[in-house]
Structure 1
């Protein structure tokens, strides 16, 4: 059994957008018409934001059970995992199944990438895009979020559970402000 990698949050790297674009092209080639959209999400998608050196990619699909999905990822050397749902924010009154997703582990030959597959139109697909766009808009929110991540990495460098036990509710707090911003500016994915 391999050891859990250390959590390291580093300064923003100007290469992250280009590295996402290379992964995006591979995914488009392998998945073709299964894909509705592919987005760079997470901290590496926010210019200037400190992040773990892992590119988060959201593959938006019409149907999580499309029979072409798994073979398309396997063609790339990616493997499916048992991760099948996202964190559901407190107070969400919707169907928990709306937070379903697929998660694939990238091939060892790739740079570190998280491959999240979510159905477009579902709340977890929207959450990732709104979170990213709000942090791109609000430098103070992005800076505060970076401080939390840096502190968590310092306090819990070997405990991914502790890291996410704090980070997920912090994201929910950011989303509260992001929802107000989305209403004010008429944001849509």
Structure 2
């Protein structure tokens, strides 16, 4: 068992994100084009693991490793994977899915820091996913229930839990693309 625990939404998650984003922004300076709160803790009312997911957007691929170097120097730890799963209907080129993941220094607030290149499919995906769920609270509620049930399964690792969630997220993302086109959404 992985010990994955899904908790009720915590109204303090946005403030916790802001505090961490300020610290990350100070470490990265202008290398970070933007820093966004992503994942379930960024959606009001959505049950989630008590881990703040953040995305740092950089201009180009060499800056991915620059961010890693700066964050490792500040005691952040690099983790796999080095790419996201390709999403049906989106570009399939490997470059569209490259990323870096870091986690917080020991004994600090749990954070997964995803670093992605601006304009790539995997950089746009979590922003649209977040905004779609914010605009569709019933979908967010159903997704939260799926996560609770998935976390209760005898899953071997957090990677297996993520792999179980990926196609469900894609099922949410595909109508999000249509929603984004109708609403002129931009990241």
Question: What is the TM-score when the length of structure 2 is the normalising length?
Answer: 0.93
* In structure 2, C-alpha distance between the alignment counterparts of 1:119 and 1:156, rounded to whole Å: 35
Deviations 1:109-140 (A, max 9, x none): 21110010001110101001000000000011
Note if contact 2:61-2:117 (Cα within 8 Å) is conserved in structure 1. Answer: yes
Task: Select 1:27's aligned residue among 24, 41, 46.
Answer: 24
Which runs of at least 4 in structure 1 moved beyond 6 Å after TM superposition?
Answer: none
* 1:49 corresponds to: 46
Which deviations, in whole Å up to 9, do the C-alpha atoms of 1:30-69 show, x marking residues without a partner?
0001010000000000000000000000000112312642
Could you tell me how far 1:157 is from its partner in structure 2?
Answer: 5.7
- Aligned-partner SS, 1:57: strand
In structure 2, the gaps of 5 or more residues are: none
Give the direction of change, closer, same or farther, for the CA distance of 1:89–1:68 in structure 2 (3 Å limit).
Answer: closer
2:74 maps to what in 1? 76
Partner of 2:153: 155
Q: Partners of 1:150 and 1:107 in 2: how far apart?
A: 27
Give the aligned partner of residue 100 of structure 2: 102
Give the corresponding residue for 1:146: 144
Q: What's the RMSD between the two structures over aligned residues? A: 1.6
**Which range moved further: 123-132 or 149-158?**
149-158
State the distance in 1 between where 2:121 and 2:91 align: 11
Ranges in structure 1 where 5+ consecutive residues have no aligned partner: none
1:37 maps to which residue?
34
Name the CA distance, whole Å, in 2 between partners of 1:82 and 1:167. Answer: 17
Inter-partner Cα distance in structure 2 for 1:159 and 1:78: 21
How many aligned residue pairs are there? Answer: 186
TM-score by length of 1: 0.92
